[in-house]
Structure 1
Amino acid sequence: MLSVNDFKPEAVIVGAGEFPSHPIPLKWLEGCQRVVCCDGAADRYLETGMPIWRIVGDCDSLSPENSLRYAPIIRRFADQETNDQTKAALYLHGKGYNHIAIIAATGMREDHTLGNISLLIDYMRQGIDARIYTDYGVFIPVSGNASFRCPAGTRVSIFSFGATKFRAEGLRYPLHDFTSWWQGTLNDTVNDDFSIEADGDYLVFINYEK
């Protein structure tokens, strides 16, 4: 059964979006031995004084000073067909780390936000268990049937990536085969757990408890 708090990431990817202030995404940084910053996101992250393990990307936005100072932990990938978040996820995947929390992936650039979130489906299809944590909730990619644990009254949204035969228990509003992304939004739980049945892939967004 999936939940917001029970995830055990082997690594954390830090993007260049809004840096979180909520305790849930921040707790993944505490004691994490593998914090990977996406290119220029390292400039801001290094100002926090928290430890960093790798800087991954094409490194076109990393400051010259940090490019020189942190050269031993920089991993450059010039591929322009993938963004820096994907470069970081694939780098970790290649090292055998497949349970990944991604923070600072949203905000500031709405186009990047949509792209970063949708990429979770691609990662899942490659065997990577990655989630995006924001200051408001968590995006979880799912394939097929899944169960979730969260208090009754939790706000939940579902985004279909071609999935069909939707059915749910524990949600206020019934699910159906969506033809647009918005159609699965603005639901909420009526029990302390809920389940979804479907054929195919979809994203679940679960808001944090208030």
Structure 2
Amino acid sequence: MKTYPWLNKEYIPETVILANGEFPTHSLPVTLLNNSQYTICCDGAVEMYVQAGYIPSAIVGDLDSLDNNNKHKFASILYPDKDQETNDLTKAFHFCLKQNRKKISILGATGKREDHTLANISLLADYMDHAQVEMVTDYGIFTPISLTSEIECLPGQPISLFCMDLYPITTIGLKYPLYERIVTRWWQATLNEALANKFIIQTKGKVIVFRGYLPNL
């Protein structure tokens, strides 16, 4: 059984992908951005990232959102990808794999357009087949899991589960337990709550786990 730890502000990400959603403001994703050893910017995220005082390690995308000034300034770290079958987040993810970077924290992937947010969250179910990946937002952390898993958390923490297939799911350690439940809609396993410092999900399928922040954390 695999254990998924709760991230804290001491964590040093091996690789961060910064997408072109809302720029992080919560203290946890901001700290991860500060601690990052290597940050890949989707091209639409570059302007905000640079304005915040950072320098990207690499810029990936079709580069249509990058102004001429930044194209010139960062010419040596531009990695254009014109594939129209994938979005810029996936292009950045594939770039990580080519660089053998397989421990990835994704920031800035939610907010703004809701269709982009839903698409980016659902992509975690694909990414997990190739890398250890989590999406950290201003409201919590999305972690994709498969098979039976132990999830570290905080007592009282908001928990939502999004099943990506029709395998039965059982939970242990949540306020509203599920037993051999087949979840057919995304809302059906949301708005739960952790009872202790960990909970267990038993399944043979893929589940995206959301752990929300507690107030003042």
Deviation string for 1:47-71 (max 9, x for gaps)? 1111210000010111111111111
Aligned letter for 2:68? P
**In the alignment, which residue of structure 1 is the partner of 2:170?**
167
| In the alignment, structure 1 residue 183 sits paired with structure 2 residue 188 | yes
**In the alignment, which residue of structure 2 is the partner of 1:81?**
85
Q: What do you get for the CA RMSD once the two structures are aligned?
A: 1.3
**1:1-210 to 2 correspondence within 5 Å?**
1-5=3-7, 9-125=13-129, 127-175=130-178, 176-210=181-215
Residue aligned with 1:164, SS:
coil
1:165: Cα distance to partner?
2.3
Q: In 2, distance between residues paired with 1:69 and 1:8?
A: 27
1:75: Cα distance to partner?
0.2
Deviation string for 1:167-196 (max 9, x for gaps)? 111011122110111101011111221110
Residue aligned with 2:112, SS:
coil
Q: In 1, distance between residues paired with 2:198 and 2:36?
A: 29
1:209: Cα distance to partner?
2.3
Q: In 2, distance between residues paired with 1:16 and 1:41?
A: 4
Change (3 A) 1:157 1:39: same
Maintained 8 Å contact 1:163/1:198: no
Aligned letter for 1:70? F
Q: In 1, distance between residues paired with 2:96 and 2:134?
A: 14
Structure 1 unaligned residues grouped into runs of 5+: none
Aligned letter for 2:153? C
Q: In 2, distance between residues paired with 1:152 and 1:163?
A: 29
Residue aligned with 1:117, SS:
helix
Superposition TM-score, scaled by structure 2 size: 0.92
Q: In 1, distance between residues paired with 2:65 and 2:55?
A: 20
Maintained 8 Å contact 2:13/2:37: no
Deviation string for 1:72-116 (max 9, x for gaps)? 000001000000000001101111111111111000111100011
Superposition TM-score, scaled by structure 1 size: 0.95
State which drifts further: 2-11 or 146-155.
2-11
Q: In 2, distance between residues paired with 1:58 and 1:113?
A: 19
Q: In 1, distance between residues paired with 2:12 and 2:124?
A: 17
Identity %: 41
1:45: Cα distance to partner?
0.8
Aligned residues: 209
Where does structure 1 differ by over 4 angstroms across 4 or more consecutive aligned residues? Answer: none
